[in-house]
């Protein structure tokens, strides 16, 4: 159990899914007035800890439920590979969530009781995604969870702790970011559909098949690309909010490649979709502030 092993288990490449919503939420706050900078910093720290805790939870629970095996097509998982014991991974999961709770305590004093609800539900969702007697991700609810928590909750929660308000533009931005975060999950689930099914992990890709997963991916990217136009047309943001639409060519290429690839060949596309989220998030944050 070396430091490098723990870093790999934390899956740092996935942390952008936690950072980008906070970045966009912070941009909404800056555009609307004077932000609470320390609160935004605490939100970023807490979001990162929750993401890492969720990654640890997925690692140990998927291994115990048999979803991760030697036939896994994605990056190796520490518990399944025997690099970290299940007990140690559980303790690391609790530690990550405890660190998030420390940030949450400060944010409660800054922004009030809604932080308790947001933080508690986020931790519960992180564990219940693959853990517990009725793991949500195993029953096809992972996509909805990601859309809600990486989109509306993460962006809206950041705006709330940073300003004490929740404008409509925050919900629109949350929809776009949540859609792209969900698209990452769709690629992951499509890649793993062949091994998830026998393990009892009934993701939407397993339940409805490849064609549905491709259509879902295209729809999610389309939602993200159209949302800035809606924010501008309704007067919720200035024309600069259209900047994220510059990522449309990349989205088109990714959608076409998903329709052509399967199995392990989807691993690079997983990273490219995460890069799309990052590029889109930076452009959206910039457009909101300008």
290, 240 contact by CB (below 8 A): yes
Q: How many CB atoms lie within 10 A of CB 243?
A: 18
Cβ neighbours of residue 267 closer than 8 Å, sequence gap 6 or more: 73, 74, 75, 191
Nearest one of 252, 256, 259 to 210, comparing CA atoms = 259
Q: Which two tokens stand for residue 271?
A: 């990273």
Residue 161 to residues 23, 106, 110, 115, 190, Cα–Cα distance (Å): 13, 10, 7, 8, 36
pLDDT of residue 67: 79
Q: What is the DSSP letter of 77?
A: -
CATH class of the domain whose range is 3-289: mainly alpha
3-class secondary-structure state, position 81? coil
Predicted confidence pLDDT, tens digits, the chain (290 residues): 689 999 999 999 889 999 999 999 999 999 988 899 999 999 999 999 999 999 999 999 999 988 777 777 788 889 999 999 999 999 999 999 999 999 999 999 999 999 999 999 999 999 999 998 899 999 999 999 999 999 999 999 999 999 999 999 999 999 999 999 999 999 999 999 988 998 899 999 999 999 999 999 999 999 999 999 999 999 999 999 999 999 999 999 999 999 999 999 999 999 999 999 999 999 999 999 99
The tokens describing 86, both together, are 């299940």
Q: What is the pTM of this model?
A: 0.95
C-alpha span between 200 and 203 (Å, rounded) = 9
């Amino acid at each position: 159990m070396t430091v490098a092993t723990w870093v790999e288990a934390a899956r740092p490449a996935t942390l952008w899914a936690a950072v980008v919503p906070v970045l966009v939420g912070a941009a909404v706050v800056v555009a609307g007035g004077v932000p609470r900078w320390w609160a935004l910093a605490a939100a970023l720290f807490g979001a990162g800890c929750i993401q890492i805790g969720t990654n640890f939870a997925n690692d140990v629970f998927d291994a115990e439920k048999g979803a991760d095996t030697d036939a896994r097509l994605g990056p190796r998982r520490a518990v399944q590979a025997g690099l970290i014991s299940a007990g140690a991974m559980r303790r690391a999961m609790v530690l990550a969530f405890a660190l998030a709770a420390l940030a949450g305590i400060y944010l409660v004093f800054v922004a009030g009781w809604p932080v308790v609800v947001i933080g508690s539900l986020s931790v519960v969702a992180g564990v219940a995604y693959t853990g517990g007697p009725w793991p949500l991700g195993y029953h096809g609810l992972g996509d909805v969870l990601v859309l809600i928590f990486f989109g509306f909750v993460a962006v809206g929660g950041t705006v709330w702790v940073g300003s004490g308000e929740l404008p409509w533009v925050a919900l629109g931005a949350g929809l776009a970011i949540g859609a792209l975060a969900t698209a990452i999950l769709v690629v992951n689930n499509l890649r793993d559909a062949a091994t998830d099914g026998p393990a009892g992990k009934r993701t939407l890709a397993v339940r409805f098949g490849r064609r549905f997963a491709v259509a879902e991916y295209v729809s999610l990217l389309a939602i993200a690309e159209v949302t800035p136009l809606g924010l501008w047309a309704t007067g919720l943001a200035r024309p600069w909010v259209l900047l994220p639409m510059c990522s449309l060519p990349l989205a088109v290429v990714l959608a076409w490649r998903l329709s052509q690839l399967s199995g392990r060949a989807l691993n690079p596309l997983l990273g490219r979709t995460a890069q799309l989220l990052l590029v889109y998030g930076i452009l959206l944050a910039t457009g909101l502030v300008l």
